[in-house]
Amino acid sequence: MDKFILNLIHRPELIPEYIDTDAQSGKSEELSKKEVVTESLDIFRLQQQIAHDNGLKTTIQMTYASLFNEECCELARQYNKEYGDEIGHTFLGVNCKEFREKHKSKELAMWLFPMDMKIKIVEDSFERFKDVFGFYPTSTGSYFMDAELINHIKEKYPMVEIAVATCFEEGPKVFRHANYSWYTLMDGSPWTAWVPSKKNSHAIAENDEDDSGIVAVPHLSRDLLALMDNSGDMFGTHPQNIIRGLIYEGDRLPYMYNLVDQYQVMKKFNKGFSYNLVYVGPGWMGKAGRWECEYRVLKKSYEDFLAYYGLLKQEGKIEDMGMTEFAKWFRKNQPRSGPICGLWKDIVFGTKNQAFWYADSQFRVQIDLKQGGAITDLRPYASKLTRPCGAGTAANQDASYPFIVQSRYRAGAFTHYAGEGAIKSCKVRYKGEEIDLSSCRSTGQYSEAQGCRILTVKPVEIEFNDLSIKLQTTYTFKENTGEIIISRKIVDSTSPQTKIEVDEFLTSCWGTTEYPEDMTGCLLAVVGKDGSRNELSYDYRCREFGAENINHVEAIIPQVQTKVSLTPENDNCGGYYEEGYSFAPNLKIGITKSIELNQELITCLKVEQAK
Amino acid sequence: MSQGRTGKINYRCPECLFREVDYDLLYEKELDQYYCRRCNWEGNEFEILRLYSVYKRKYKDMLKRYTVEDIMAKDE
């Protein structure tokens, strides 16, 4: 397969969010001011024209407000007739006089309404759409849609085939970036198209029973390396993201093209398939400019951006589709449960840094190659957490899928005083010296085997006082099993017969943000070859246990219904657990073995649902 | 001193930008000066632009074009 697909979505929002903000703070007198609507529609027309001039078809996602504007509806009909643009639906842009009168709320985020209101809004909006266009939409979306909302829509309107279901990795970093006032707290989904689970829309569906019946796509395609330590809203396939990040000079935005080209490279890791989503409203392209950027540059950035997609289309390197057309293609041509992979290389900071991402129905894993190939983010999809969001739910605004490893929110390899942060890494020890592989910068190579995706980390050199070794790490992801086989092999040594202790460990906690959550009641266990079991219930008492010749070590985090274990394939391995304490609120499990040149410690990391 | 207003250009506070917080500056016409309501930064347009250029230094390859071939050729 050689397929790079573009979904280009235009949202004719009549009261763009930034104007709405002004209105609510008293700066604007009248929400439905004629000139605002006129300018918004003019921008929509211009965006459509730019797309069509470059030979690209769009999906027009009609907002609630736009469904009450006859001019806008007529425009959508014309574009559909003349260019084959899909007329779709969105839950963004609900704010307008009609909505406020009917639903008596200033809430603007569909995923945050109470469920009873979500149900009413779905019906109101879809029926209005039918009244206007004579058919129900087959595509919809919002910045986030939880499984409960998707399931309801699919039950009531089974013709819906696809939805923009998340803003990829818009979580605490984006919340902070927007001065703690942009409530898209939704870390943890796949970064490209996926079939969402019926139980949790972040997670990839496992089977028929778990299949929500739609295809989900992320709002924008984002830089998989930049957003690990930066706010993702500066690094996506939307010129405004890039302008907001000040990643431009004058009217030059080469990073915009670099992003698209790196997504072309993603075909290499996904059996020839890659995907881009561009989704713009009118708010950023007003005559008054956006951020510090003047209108001329905004307009030119969009013209240049779509011209590049147009060029790729002419060259046969990309195919533009409507959202529903893409959903049908995806269902026919892509495996429901993944996996999806990406070995992403730095294209903006000027480093050799790389990150590897993997997702299937059991987990989403992020590996930071500059940290020696440590796992720095792990979301346990296997547990398929029921976690509805919105008013009246326990999660409310916190729509993220919880992690069991997050090295940036939870310290990772570097802590300021005590304890260890959340990370999956490895330490090597020799004569009292200890080196954490996360301090050994490396790069990776991707390969495939039957039922497996493999990341091979370039060997790193580790220097002790009187010994030097080269150690190679290999991650083998056994597709849709929740298992990663991790190999640590000594491939070179200045003293071939000298044994070095390898400590394959996981430091874990759970949460969705930077702040610690309650670990009380987590279970830690070391299980011997003879079936003997030493376990404890987490209570912040800094207890530890270790044993020789173990079968495996495990941790159960009941708060996220997740069990994680490390099982060595070698004989005669040691194993341990460490409880942690309140200033270091993580749990730790590990496997140890001493190896010499050409020997390897092979461990299976397994993530599963805790019963 | 009259109330602060949004300037001709809606600049964000450069100091807040450095800690990844977008916060619009206000403009005090009498002094031809911008100031931040969140932190303690104040300065003129020249200083804003100077600090923006400092901010951009983290993007060493900001103006570099990486094609598919360039990306494929990067160390793997």
Write out chain A residues lying below 8 Å of B60, CB-based. 348-351
Mention every residue, 6+ apart, whose C-beta is less than 8 A from residue A332: none
Q: Which chain B residue shows the shortest CA-CA distance from A267? A: B68
Residue B19 structure tokens: 């800690």
Chain B residues with CB-CB distance to A under 8 A? 9-12, 16-17, 20-23, 38, 52, 55-56, 58-68, 70-72, 74-76
- Bridge-based pairing state of the strands A533-537 and A483-493: unpaired
pLDDT over 70 at B76, yes or no: no
Write out chain B residues lying below 8 Å of A369, CB-based. none
Q: Residue A145, SS3?
A: coil
Q: Residue A125, SS3?
A: helix
Q: Are A414 and B44 in contact (CB under 8 A)?
A: no
CATH architecture of A3-337: Alpha-Beta Barrel (3.20)
DSSP string, B27-69: EEGGGTEEE-SSSS-EE-HHHHHHHHHHHGGG-TTTT----HH
A255, A347, A446 member nearest B71 (Cβ):
A347
Write out chain B residues lying below 8 Å of A352, CB-based. 74-75
Q: In angstroms, how far is the first alpha carbon of chain B from the final one? A: 60
- Taking an 8 Å cut-off on Cβ atoms, the answer to whether B20 and A246 are in contact is no
- Taking an 8 Å cut-off on Cβ atoms, the answer to whether B64 and A343 are in contact is no
Query: Which element (helix H / strand E) includes A345?
Result: strand A340-345
Instruction: Output the pTM of the full model.
Output: 0.96
Instruction: For chain B, give every domain's residue range.
Output: 14-73
The 10s digit of each residue's pLDDT in B4-48 is 777 777 899 999 999 999 999 999 999 999 999 999 999 999 999
Using alpha carbons only, give the angle A82, A83, A86 rounded to the nearest 5 degrees.
110
Number of A/B CB contacts below 8 angstroms equals: 91
pLDDT at A21: 54
pLDDT at A568: 98
Distance CA A4, CA A329 (A): 12
| Residue A450: other Cβ atoms inside 10 A | 5
Q: Are A244 and B22 in contact (CB under 8 A)?
A: yes
- Residue A352 C-alpha, separation from nearest chain B C-alpha, in angstroms: 7
The 10s digit of each residue's pLDDT in A452-462 is 999 999 999 99
Distance CA A416, CA A487 (A): 30
B10, B56, B72 member nearest A265 (Cβ):
B72
A291, A343, A354 member nearest B12 (Cβ):
A291
pLDDT at A291: 85
Q: Which of A554, A556, A594 is nearest to A576 (CA)?
A: A554
Write out chain B residues lying below 8 Å of A349, CB-based. 58-61
Q: Are A502 and A594 in contact (CB under 8 A)?
A: yes
- Bridge-based pairing state of the strands B33-35 and A587-595: unpaired
Residues of chain A short of pLDDT 50, as ranges, are: 23-27, 29
Integer-rounded Cα Rg, in Å, for chain B is 17
Residue A270 structure tokens: 């996904």
- Provide CATH code, domain A362-384+399-609: 2.70.98.10
B11, B20, B62 member nearest A348 (Cβ):
B62
Distance CA A502, CA A500 (A): 6
User: What is the value of ipTM here, to two decimals?
Assistant: 0.96
- Taking an 8 Å cut-off on Cβ atoms, the answer to whether B62 and A254 are in contact is yes
Instruction: For chain A, give every domain's residue range.
Output: 3-337, 362-384+399-609
Q: Are A507 and A420 in contact (CB under 8 A)?
A: yes
Query: Which element (helix H / strand E) includes A81?
Result: helix A70-83
Determine the length of chain A.
Answer: 611
Distance CA A500, CA A16 (A): 61
Write out chain B residues lying below 8 Å of A243, CB-based. none
pLDDT at A29: 45
Burial of B46 (0-12, 13-18, 19+ CB in 10 A): exposed
Instruction: Mark which residues 443-482 of A lie under 8 Å from B by CB.
Output: 443-446, 458
Q: Which of B32, B29, B26 is nearest to B13 (CA)?
A: B26
pLDDT at A19: 56
Residue A482 structure tokens: 């929740």
- Taking an 8 Å cut-off on Cβ atoms, the answer to whether B20 and A248 are in contact is no
Best of A174, A228, A255 to substitute, by most chain B Cβ atoms within 10 angstroms, is A255
The 10s digit of each residue's pLDDT in A396-446 is 999 999 999 999 999 999 999 888 999 999 999 999 999 999 999 999 999
